[in-house]
Amino acid sequence: MLYLFLLFICVLLFGIIAWKDIQQATILFFGLLPTYLLRITIFGLPTTLLEMLFWVLFLIWFIQRFEWKKQKLLLPVPLIILFLAASISLFVAPNIFTALGIWKSYFLEPIIFFLIIRSVIQKSENISYLFISFGVSALFISLFGIVQFLTGLSIPIPWDVERRITSIFPYPNALGLFIGPALMISFFESTRLIKQFLQNGQKSIWLFCFWISVFIFGSMAIFFSKTEAAWGAVVGTILFSSWFIRDLRKITIPFAIICAIVLLSLPALHVPFFQKITFQDYSGTVRLKQWEETVELLKNHWLFGAGLSGYPTKVIPYHTHPEIEIFQYPHNIILNIWTELGLVGLAAFILLMAQVLALFIESTKYPLQERWISIICFSVLLEIMIHGLVDVPYFKNDLAMLTMGILAIFYLNTKQKHSFIDGSTETS
């Protein structure tokens, strides 16, 4: 009863904040994404604290701000198609009740959150506060994970054997999937603050210290979690995205070349590295076997896939590798989407990524000071994509909300004539 009472108090306080200031509530909500871990059953229906907070936010937003024509809250076409594909997949799924929960948590609610952000966030400082809110969450999660590593306490079985930290999450990969995007935001926000100081003497010491702390402790957390896909995604994204910042690429490109020379010169490093990237280690062979079975499944279900949450059931006839378990998803972003949403959903995803890339390329013609937000958001999305090559970077409550939130900020910024961030002009 105490647990229920505390959750009720949290929801009530959040509702009061939202009614008084919907912007503050939206910013706060972006930092409360891990509250999906706090689960509850109401009248026999399972839900989470995150979901309850969301519906409070939505209800108040709907009452106070919902004006389609005035605020131009139309969704991008790829997201509309994606939502329609998810809705169709409801009826393809083996269990429509389970699928309905997936549809609600991973598509309906995150897409509504996309609209809320586009409606509520109007100023540059509000975007900065969104990032800070998420950064605070990532910082606390990272610190808790580091304490786990130092003490060995509360690491779930079987991860305790290898001392792979999970922080508040049930498994290490969930930590890497959440912290990876935070590292992108913290890295480029820190870079932006340094450039502002060097250019015009503008100081934001406390904010800089905050973002550096997020980056350092977040990096330590994913290192101790031994989530190798997160390592690769973070490093790869920083190297690629740095190309669009002239002063930064002068540092990252030589650094990358030196690291490559060291890597190739030392067999103790390059042998395991090439084993990893060629999927010759244990984790790699498991992924290859998963994908082999998934491809066989898709040969017979290429149009509609397996339906929402249908993969574990429909892959059984194609499970030719009994030495590995049947996972919830194929652990590849393309196969994840194809099996869950069918060919239409996959086409919508590709169209969405193409549109994001086109908008980002278009933004590069503007001065650097006007495109920091687009660089940050693009970097987060790219990190999610790279990590998703061998994992499941979207089909989780927090990650779905995070992805749609970042997409909303990206579209909001790139669709504006003028940048949110004011300041003097500089070129890349």
16-20, 336-340, 420-424: least confident range: 420-424
- Nearest-angstrom CA–CA distance, 75 and 58: 16
Per the omega criterion (within 30 degrees of 0), is the bond before 367 cis? no
**What's the confidence (pLDDT) of residue 421?**
38
pLDDT tens digit sequence for 160-205: 999 999 999 999 999 999 999 999 999 999 999 998 888 776 678 8
Q: Please determine, for residue 406, whether its predicted confidence score (pLDDT) is greater than 90.
A: yes
Dihedral sign (CA 149, 151, 153, 158): positive
**What's the confidence (pLDDT) of residue 196?**
85
Contact 402, 181 (CB under 8 A): yes
Residues present in the chain in total: 428
Calculate the average pLDDT of the chain. 92
Most confident of 194-198, 266-270, 393-397: 393-397
Q: Which amino acid is at 150?
A: L
20-24, 28-32, 365-369, 422-426: least confident range: 422-426
- Nearest-angstrom CA–CA distance, 113 and 53: 12
Confidence class for position 70, pLDDT limits 50, 70, 90: low
**What's the confidence (pLDDT) of residue 428?**
44
**What's the confidence (pLDDT) of residue 416?**
57
- Nearest-angstrom CA–CA distance, 327 and 291: 11
Mean pLDDT of 3-10: 92
Q: Please determine, for residue 312, whether its predicted confidence score (pLDDT) is greater than 70.
A: yes
Mean pLDDT of 121-125: 80
Q: Please determine, for residue 403, whether its predicted confidence score (pLDDT) is greater than 90.
A: yes
- φ, ψ (nearest 5 deg) of residue 41: -115, 125
Q: Please determine, for residue 417, whether its predicted confidence score (pLDDT) is greater than 60.
A: no
Mean pLDDT of 213-237: 96
Q: Please determine, for residue 99, whether its predicted confidence score (pLDDT) is greater than 70.
A: yes
Q: How far apart are the first and last CA of the chain?
A: 58
Residue 373 in tokens: 């937000």
Q: Parse the chain into domains and list their residue ranges.
A: 1-66
Confidence class for position 227, pLDDT limits 50, 70, 90: very high
- Nearest-angstrom CA–CA distance, 329 and 326: 8
Mean pLDDT of 3-19: 95
**What's the confidence (pLDDT) of residue 69?**
56
Residue 49 in tokens: 């604290």
Q: Please determine, for residue 229, whether its predicted confidence score (pLDDT) is greater than 70.
A: yes
Cβ partners under 8 Å of residue 180, min gap 6: 222, 230, 233, 234, 383, 384, 387
Q: Please determine, for residue 296, whether its predicted confidence score (pLDDT) is greater than 60.
A: yes
Q: Please determine, for residue 103, whether its predicted confidence score (pLDDT) is greater than 60.
A: yes
**What's the confidence (pLDDT) of residue 238?**
95
Confidence class for position 42, pLDDT limits 50, 70, 90: confident
pLDDT tens digit sequence for 232-264: 999 999 999 999 888 888 898 998 999 889 888
Q: Please determine, for residue 320, whether its predicted confidence score (pLDDT) is greater than 60.
A: yes
**What's the confidence (pLDDT) of residue 268?**
83
Mean pLDDT of 40-59: 93
Neighbours of 372 (CB within 10 A): 23
List, in sequence order, the alpha helices (H) in 226-332.
Answer: 228-242, 246-265, 267-277, 282-300, 311-314
Mean pLDDT of 311-325: 96
- The share of the chain scoring above pLDDT 70, in percent, equals 95
**What's the confidence (pLDDT) of residue 37?**
96
- Nearest-angstrom CA–CA distance, 234 and 222: 10
**What's the confidence (pLDDT) of residue 425?**
38
Select the more confidently predicted residue: 181 or 371.
181
Mean pLDDT of 210-226: 97
Q: Please determine, for residue 419, whether its predicted confidence score (pLDDT) is greater than 60.
A: no
